[in-house]
Structure 1
Amino acid sequence: MELPPGPIGGQAAWVGADMAQRTDWIETFSATERAEIDAAIAEHKAAGREMGEITPETFRLPTLAPRLTRILGDIQHGRGFALLRGFDVASRPIEDSAIGYLGIGAHLGGFRSQNAKGHLLGHVKDLGLDIRNPKVRYYQTNRELEFHTDSCDIVGLICLKTAKSGGGSRIVSSVAIHDRMLAESPELWRALFNPMPTDRRGEIPPGMLPWFEIPVFNWHKGDLSTIYSGQYIRSAQENFPQARRLTPVEHAALDRLDELAAEMSLEMEFRPGDMQFIHNHQLLHSRTDFEDWPEPERRRHLLRLWLAPRQARELPPVYAQRYGDITPGNRGGIVVKDTVLRFTLEPA
């Protein structure tokens, strides 16, 4: 097991209280860029293309594309996230909003499946499902989400409608958490480099166990990559007696990671049309619980993308358990037996 030689630092090791005083992570579209997006949506529809045919070449953004390349660099090699603001969703049908969002996302990376149903365009919405069902994902409820990563390089969200109250997005630098844990408790820090059984929540690729075992912290070729879902690490302990039992030190390390994530995080409120893109390998994300509107047409609704940039960091071989192929541009996502890749405009 290779370990970092010491604190990592750098632009990625930020603390939420400091980041909250900055605005350089908010990227507002100019009038010219908004017009380009509108024209690209119209061209896509006029050509009769399917959503799956959206690529940087078909969704042309002459002025915005170079800016998106720079933003992608900030996400992958800088602070790890960006908020894109100024896209109008209020006056568009959901199909047009989805096309615009997919078009911008395509300039950042290829689309990856987000669940066993093969959804390439995810819907984050309270569907009134029972979280006690082991196949229900927390994003399908109104409950607070613990800090976690998703199974892809970059995760994107666009806000279509906000909740009556709550539902704030929280992000935190896993690099900063790593450095803090190294400084305050080397024993707990070291425990997070041990492989941890993590529940797949019923989404099991052929030939795989119902859980995967990857360390939370992974040091590989000069990069710290973090993969974490405390809820599913703990549910693996409850649901799978065959999975390795965590030690008291490992449990304490997870508890401390959760505490630091809450303490060091940045919370942002989404406005309709806001697009958030984050680098999963160096950030954890969560959401506060929320109260929704009683009217179905007003209820909180976000669309989600999982993206694989063609140029990306090399991941350690152990990630193949979760990502399948770990080749940049062709990795991440969830594919099980009989999965059919598709786009849908309805939550399901």
Structure 2
Amino acid sequence: MANIAIAAAPSNLVTPASSHQTLGGLRKRYLEDARHAIGRDEAPKSKRTAIETTPGPDIQWNPSFETYQARVEALSKLDIERPTTLPGGFPESIESSRVWTGADFGDEAKFVMRLDEAQVLEIDRALSYFKTRRPRLGLDEVSRQMFPLPTLKLKLKNISRNLHFGIGFSVIRGLDPRRYSAFDNVIIYLGITSYVAEQRGCQDSEGNMLIHIKDLGDERPNSELRQAPYARNAQPFHTDVCDILAMYVQNQAPEGGESHLASCGKIYNDIARTRPDVIHTLAEPNWIFDKHQKPAYWNRRQLLFNFKDHGPGFCFSRRPITGSPASPRSPGVPPMTEVQAEALDMVHFTAVEHKLTMQLQRGDIQLINNLAVFHARSGFRDTPMQKRHIMRLWLRNEELAWQTPEGLQRTWFEKYGDSERRKIAKWNAYAGATRERILSRSHSCS
């Protein structure tokens, strides 16, 4: 690996073209296309020549293990000063039930709660109770009070405690969404999850409170480079920007689409034990998050946080950091360093080593502590008669939520606070999205 850059160039520093790394693969094609497509005068004066900055490491959204291994080997041969102890306040290891590996779950009963006939009947009665008041109530008003579950509520409360203080994930199984209309499925989803985490987050700048994850390639011509919720490709390990991530499966894919989970605590413990310098890198608040705007705009924060009373946890998605085929990094946005690229891929491949894979079924509601558990998915294939469709919510339990660290407070305000996007909040009971939402680079779980 030639020309390894150890230090990040300051955001206002232009690197001479003669020192550029050789580009390869997707990064080369998309950066070169972007340079031809975007005029330099679209960037602010202080950043106009930033399009000529060094493109940074050879790293992709869906990472290559071979590239990662080569980078680790190349960096090991350089005389880099590496911390040998962990950052101040970070524990030697996390001792918690949220530290696990996939092999710990040979019996899915450890994380699946199966609804029996009486519990499904109780849900149906709660649905009827809410619908009798529907002329006066909107979806935003589905609540514990308006969706009464007198016996099931205790089990759901226990699930919430398990998410916040236990293994960090759960699956509720036993619903059949085919029995209900699209609108009724949303009511049921909101009603059940209100007992787990009552506050709902806004998921994008368009005010969408509910996202339908479904491949829309057949419905939107000329949309080959669709954003991940609307495509069928695999997704690497990441987190969203919420406290609790909920996924209600309306239909599973006939082939592929497996869900993969990995314990953030296990990943931290493995890296902290062998590479404390990487913990320093992950916890530094200097990671560049591309906001995919014109002119080029980005923010900086860390990937690893030390949560009060809970210890280290992660919050990041790779796309704003590495770019992706659908969202290549914006010209003018500073690159990450090779040291950061090593750390980023180390997190992913440690997650792969310890992952739990599950094939979610129609009607499953998967619940994940987004700060304690990474998630990923396999690519999938639809057929004309069966198309994968999942409804996604971002949730927060005000009583049990982990304390939001300073580096995430602005983002959390956008999702849960009295933000501009919350003021235009809207609910879409039916699958689909605007063309702008499908193709826009600026919508990001960052």
Q: Same fold (TM over 0.5)?
A: yes
- CA RMSD after TM alignment: 2.5
Please list, as runs of the form range in 1=range in 2, the aligned pairs for 1:332-343 lying within 5 A after superposition. Answer: 340-343=424-427
8 Å contact from structure 1 (residues 89, 97) kept in 2:
yes
Q: Give aligned-pair identity as a percent.
A: 26
In 1, Cα distance between the equivalents of 2:376 and 2:132?
A: 38
The verdict on how the C-alpha distance between 1:337 and 1:33 changes in structure 2, with shifts beyond 3 A counting, is closer
| Alignment match of 1:257 (pick from 347, 356, 363) | 347
TM normalised by structure 2 equals: 0.70
The 10-residue stretch of structure 1 (302-311 or 2-11) with the greater mean CA deviation from structure 2: 2-11
- Cα drift, residue 80 of structure 1: 0.3
| Alignment match of 2:428 (pick from 322, 344, 348) | 344
- Cα drift, residue 15 of structure 1: 0.4
Name the counterpart of 1:78: 166
Name the counterpart of 2:19: none
Name the counterpart of 1:238: 329
The 10-residue stretch of structure 1 (336-345 or 17-26) with the greater mean CA deviation from structure 2: 336-345
Alignment partner of 1:213 is 2:304: no
8 Å contact from structure 1 (residues 146, 231) kept in 2:
no
Deviations 1:290-348 (A, max 9, x none): 001124xx31111111101111121211112422279xxx459xx66696101112221
In 1, Cα distance between the equivalents of 2:383 and 2:366?
A: 23
Name the counterpart of 2:113: 27
Secondary structure of the residue aligned to 1:151 is: coil
In 1, Cα distance between the equivalents of 2:307 and 2:180?
A: 44
Alignment partner of 1:317 is 2:415: no
Deviations 1:89-113 (A, max 9, x none): 1222222221111101112221111
Which sections of structure 2, spanning at least 5 residues, go unmatched? 1-86, 434-446
Alignment partner of 1:119 is 2:208: yes
Q: Which has more strand, going by share of residues? A: 1
- Cα drift, residue 216 of structure 1: 1.3
Alignment partner of 1:170 is 2:260: yes
The verdict on how the C-alpha distance between 1:301 and 1:325 changes in structure 2, with shifts beyond 3 A counting, is closer
- Cα drift, residue 280 of structure 1: 0.6
Secondary structure of the residue aligned to 2:336 is: coil
Alignment partner of 1:199 is 2:312: no
Structure 1 residue identity aligned to 2:383: W
| Alignment match of 1:17 (pick from 103, 112, 130) | 103
The 10-residue stretch of structure 1 (264-273 or 113-122) with the greater mean CA deviation from structure 2: 113-122
Q: Over alpha carbons, which structure has the higher Rg?
A: 2
TM normalised by structure 1 equals: 0.89
Deviations 1:160-193 (A, max 9, x none): 1111200111111111101001112222222111
In 1, Cα distance between the equivalents of 2:117 and 2:246?
A: 23
Which sections of structure 1, spanning at least 5 residues, go unmatched? none
Name the counterpart of 1:228: 316
Please list, as runs of the form range in 1=range in 2, the aligned pairs for 1:103-114 lying within 5 A after superposition. Answer: 103-109=191-197, 110-114=199-203
The 10-residue stretch of structure 1 (150-159 or 312-321) with the greater mean CA deviation from structure 2: 312-321
The verdict on how the C-alpha distance between 1:212 and 1:309 changes in structure 2, with shifts beyond 3 A counting, is farther
Secondary structure of the residue aligned to 1:249 is: helix
Alignment size in residue pairs: 334
Alignment partner of 1:5 is 2:85: no
Deviations 1:77-97 (A, max 9, x none): 110000000112122222222
